[in-house]
Structure 1
Amino acid sequence: MMMPFPGGLEAHPNGTLLFSAALALFYLLMQRRSPSWRRTFAKAGSIVLLAVLSLIVGGPVLLAVALILSAAGDAFLAQNGEKSFLAGLASFLAAHLVYIALFMVAGSGVEILVAQPWRLALPVAATLVGAVLLLRLLQVVPAPMKLPITVYVVAIAAMMLASATVPVPLVMLGAALFVASDAILAVERFLLAPNSAHRIWAGPAVWVLYYLAQALLTLGFVL
């Protein structure tokens, strides 16, 4: 079996990555069940193991911090209720700010965007889609949630732009999948009718895209 790190399945980095992916699959299978400690453990644990992987191979500390904050957000979002949603939103907002700091440290600045203007395609597309989606969301979300959601959308758009300055393409791809996952989540939570047929695929798509995003961001910095 081809593994990303030397040493085969016996190597700790490869084993950690496989256990992370296994927990992610386990959560996918349990996603439609009622909240439980098993469901929460699988969801948050898959991302915690990516942070462990980063630490094992000497990855950036900021990457591990962003992943731990994301795992906290996952634990909150695995529960029901508006308070849990807002707590999850705050955790992910913090994670995006840490990712922005990481990308600024690891990136090549504006120079790489000038030299390779194609890198602006995904950030511009994400910003346009985010702006349209935000305008739609502000029409339907409760008043107390309008400011947090606006701040979050701005933060993830900034994260997407910052990722374009990192030379490793996996990082920008991971950021783009993160944006796609969050966009589908917002549509599912606030815009889809309760009986919409799209809910069948929306929930699984959110998780698959999100986990792939975090895995690509991790591998982009540790390989």
Structure 2
Amino acid sequence: MYKRLACLISVGALVTNLLAIAMDNHPVELFSKPLIVAGLFAWLLLSAPASSRLRSLALMALFFSWTGDVLLMFQTYKPVYFLLGLSSFLLAHIFYCIIFYKMRKQENIAIRGVWLLPSLLFYGGIMFLLNNSLTDMLWPVRIYGLVITVMLFLALQLWRSPVPRAGLLIVAGAILFVLSDSLLAINKFYQPLPAAGICIMLTYGLAQWSLILGISRWLNYRSNR
């Protein structure tokens, strides 16, 4: 019952947020945005084995994602909130990196260097596109971009995880997260994109759900063996 309620809160908040953006209802947009990850946090808390250290790491990733969501809501008032929000999401991605690294080690999956090329192509391409527009945000965005590139590379290693669908969900989530962050950066620093807010939040919400579903599926599969 409580798992279903947490799921409904998160999914309902995402749908509400997208509708609020479409209707330019700023108060509802601000109210619903933090509930997306908050509901997902509660769902993971109830869905994955409590004894798992990886669950704790995933909860930390969600906590810093939630903090980032809240901080970015205030960036229109003071630009420093964008940097603080970026820093919070940086920590979230570091936790995801640790999770994917530990999952790969536990599965004894060898590092596949073939995934390095698409990861570096993404990083090089987005940095080349944004380079002249970043000014004083050049190094913060470069560092953040490098971390999400590492997160993507580590997630891609789990493509063929023996846990049913867990690896595919994690890879899909990582790609969607990279897409969401790329759209946000292009819209903010390069040029405004049509329906940017809807596209950014839709890919972000789907990314978080895909990652957490994949991690939860993996944790439950391993705990039942």
Q: TM-score normalised by the shorter chain: which range applies?
A: 0.7 to 0.9
**Structure-1-length-normalised TM-score:** 0.82
Q: How does 1:169-188 map to 2 (within 5 A)?
A: 169-188=168-187
Counterpart residue type for residue 53 of structure 1: W
2:44 corresponds to? 54
Give 2:154's aligned residue.
162
Residue 64 (structure 2) aligns with: 69
Task: Pick the aligned partner of 1:136 from 122, 129, 134.
Answer: 129
Distance 2:105 2:201 in 1: 30
Deviates most, 77-86 or 145-154: 77-86
| Residues in 1 aligned to 2:131 and 2:107: alpha-carbon distance in whole angstroms | 32
SS in 2 for 1:112: coil
Identify the residue that residue 91 of structure 1 maps to in structure 2.
88
SS at match of 1:200: coil
For residue 212 of structure 1, report the CA deviation from its aligned partner. Answer: 0.2
Distance of 1:184 and 1:17 partners within structure 2:
26
Q: Which whole-Å CA distance do the structure 2 matches of 1:213 and 1:120 have between them?
A: 23
Superposition deviation, residue 189 in structure 1: 0.7
- Measure how far apart 1:190 and its partner are: 1.0
CA contact (8 A) 1:96 1:155 kept: yes
Output one character per residue of 1:153-203: Cα deviation in whole Å (capped at 9) or x when no partner: 00000001111233221111100110011111111111115xxxxx33222
Question: Does residue 20 of structure 2 align to residue 26 of structure 1?
Answer: no
1:39 corresponds to 2:29: yes
Q: Distance in 2 between matches of 1:124 and 1:78?
A: 35
| Superposed CA RMSD | 2.2
Aligned to 2:221: none
Say whether the 8 Å CA contact 2:9–2:35 is kept in structure 1.
no
- Distance in 2, matches of 1:163 and 1:202, equals 26
1:58-105 CA-partner distances (Å, limit 9, x unpaired): 351111110110011111112214211111100100100111111111
Q: Aligned with 2:109: secondary structure?
A: helix
What is the alpha-carbon distance in structure 1 between the residues aligned to residue 184 and residue 117 of structure 2?
A: 20
> Does the Cα contact within 8 Å between 2:177 and 2:208 map onto a contact in 1?
yes
Paired with 1:70 and 1:124, the residues of 2 have a C-alpha distance of 27
Structure 1 residues 35 and 78, CA gap change in structure 2 (3 angstroms): farther
CA separation in 2, counterparts of 1:204 and 1:149?
Answer: 22
Q: Which runs of 5+ in 2 are unaligned?
A: 50-54, 162-166, 218-225
Q: CA deviation at 1:111?
A: 5.7
Which consecutive unaligned segments of at least 5 residues does structure 1 have?
1-10, 194-198
Deviations, residues 118-151 of structure 1 (Å, cap 9, x unaligned): x945x632431221211232211122x1111110
% identity of equivalent residues: 27
